[in-house]
Amino acid sequence: MASHFEQLEQSMDQTPSFDGQVAQLIHLANDNGMTVSFMDIGATWLSCTLPVKGESREILLRSPNMAEHIKQSAYFGSIVGRFANRIALGRFEIEGKQYQVGVNNGENSLHGGIDGFDKRRWAVAEHSANHVVFRLHSADGDQGYPGNLDVSVTYTLTDENALVIGYQASTDKTCPVNLTNHAYFNLAGEGSGAKSLDHQLQLNAEGYLPTDSGLIPSGEIKAVQGTSFDFTQPKNIGSEFLTEPDQKTAGGYDHAFVFEPQVTDGQTVAAILRSPQQDVTMKVKTTKPAVQFYSGNFLAETPGLSKTYELYDGLALETQFFPDGPNKPDWGVNRGVLTPGGSYQHQTVYQFEC
């Protein structure tokens, strides 16, 4: 029988990707038997298997093959950019100049626009037994964004069962930059049938960003206290699901939660996710100011590895700057706007206990 890595290669290699060529896959394994796999298309985190109770458990959702991967709009495991999440009407102003970027989500721009970084072939710049570095150049004017932007994403697998994602970017013109990884987790197992709603979540976030029906933040940072958005103590995601207008507008949880500044040192645990059976725990540490907690509200009818996914079959915890930040001058450094010579160096860690 083909090994897990062979199966992955076969599924992604049988059909050419967006650029007519087949994907290149990279696999890493640690001493405990945890594995992670990536492909150069979208610098995508394709697979993550954990040793749980003597078995290997796949905890990421993905497409069954490349033919489906290039059709889906779930952004399974990809690096999204230049700007993760939405920019209202795809418009923003920088240094007095108006820009229009691709509109691909109703009237708004989502995850970098029509030809986002998830659809690009990234260069494999470095590769060792425990890390891989992907690089991408995005030319001035790409998708309407200003500035030549150079981006690198480093994935490192540690023997502490952590996947460390390092993000670096530099630009020669001021431009919005907000890079994240769009993995969907199901800690009970990709094909387990467990729902995002059955997981337990804790977020070190005292505020969240309410949105309009197009999922553009209103600009208000609302206190979570006393609302269904309060995850400051561990809570089952389903326990207050769709109980309030701000959730109903978004079809569930699909909001930026604002971390307390003291937890964004990259060392402190900012979020904890537990599997329904409590046999797997994922801890998230980050230097980014927020996380988009998305409960999988648009997953229905997306072809997946073990089946066609249904609503809430997985959830994403996308560390990021504030959605629509370029249009919200009051948000300061949380807007996700990079200047020439400015530093974009971020790190997010997903650490697993099983």
Rule CB under 6 A: which residues touch ligand BGC?
73-75, 85, 110, 215, 254, 292, 294, 298, 318
Q: Does 190 qualify as catalytic in the annotation?
A: no
Options 9, 68, 190, 318, the catalytic residue:
318
Q: Which is nearer to ligand BGC, 59 or 209 (CB)?
A: 209
Chain position whose Cβ is nearest to ligand BGC: 298
Whole-number minimum distance, CB 213 to ligand BGC, in Å? Answer: 12
Whole-number minimum distance, CB 316 to ligand BGC, in Å? Answer: 6
Whole-number minimum distance, CB 110 to ligand BGC, in Å? Answer: 6
Q: Which is nearer to ligand BGC, 161 or 178 (CB)?
A: 178
Whole-number minimum distance, CB 281 to ligand BGC, in Å? Answer: 23
Options 111, 182, 199, 255, the catalytic residue:
182
SS (H, E, C) the chain: CCCHHHHHHHHHHCCCCCCCCCCCEEEEECCCCCEEEEECECCEEEEEEEEECCEEEECECCCCCHHHHCCCCCCCCCEECCECCEEHHHEEEECCEEEECCCCECCEEECCCCCCHHHCECEEEEECCCEEEEEEEECCCHHHCCCCEEEEEEEEECCCCEEEEEEEEEECCCEECECEECCCECCCCCCCCCCHHHCEEEECEEEECCECCCCCECCCCEECCCCCCCCCCCEEHHHHCCCCHHHHHHCCCEEEEEECHHHCCCCCCCEEEECCCCCCEEEEEECCCEEEEECCCCCCCEECCCCEECCCCCEEEEEECCCCHHHCHHHHHHHCEECCCCCEEEEEEEEEEC
Q: Which is nearer to ligand BGC, 86 or 274 (CB)?
A: 86
Q: Does 182 qualify as catalytic in the annotation?
A: yes
Q: Which is nearer to ligand BGC, 133 or 270 (CB)?
A: 270
Q: Which is nearer to ligand BGC, 156 or 196 (CB)?
A: 196
Whole-number minimum distance, CB 264 to ligand BGC, in Å? Answer: 19
Cite the active site residues: 182, 318
